[in-house]
Every structure is written in structure tokens, then in C-alpha cells.
Amino acid sequence: MRTFLHFLLFMVIAAAVIVLAAILGDVGAWYFAWLIGTTMIVLISAAGAALLDAQEEHATGERAAGDGQVRT
């Protein structure tokens, strides 16, 4: 039964996409590119923020570990 519900859901989504493509016509590609571009910008920004946070945590950990050691 669950497989049938998934199939039905995907068929409804596919029908909605076909109707939207018919309504939008030539400008549909522009909206698609806008959606994909916006999504990519958000994901890349989130990845950059996560990397920056990890670098700051790593640098803070090195400073804390280096405070007790004498460097020559």
C-alpha cells in the first residue's frame, strides 16, 4: 500500500509540473534557473559558514593546547 501511495504522490507531482510547464511556456526555463540558482547560493553559503565555524573551532583548540606548551 505504501508503494502505491508513493507512486500516486509522484504522479500528482508530475502532473502539476506538466501543467505548470504548459502555463509558463517559454519563461519556464527562467523560473527553473532562478530556483536552482537560489538553492545553490543558499547551500554554498551554508557550507561556507560551516567551514568557517570549523576553522574557528580548530584554531581555538590549537591556541588552548598551545598555551601550556613552551615553543622553542
What is the pLDDT tens value at each position of the chain, 72 positions in all? 899 999 999 999 999 988 988 888 888 888 888 989 999 999 999 999 999 999 999 988 877 776 655 555
Backbone angles phi, psi at 67, to 5 degrees: -65, -30
In a domain, 12, yes or no: yes
Q: Evaluate whether 24 touches 31 at the Cβ level (below 8 Å).
A: yes
Instruction: Indicate whether this model's pTM tops 0.85.
Output: no
20 located within any domain: yes
Is 24 part of any domain?
A: yes
- Give the domain range for residue 49: 2-66
- Asked, for residue 71, whether it belongs to a domain, the answer is no
Q: Which residue has the cell 508503494?
A: 3
Total of domains in the chain:
1
User: Would 72 be classed as within a structural domain?
Assistant: no
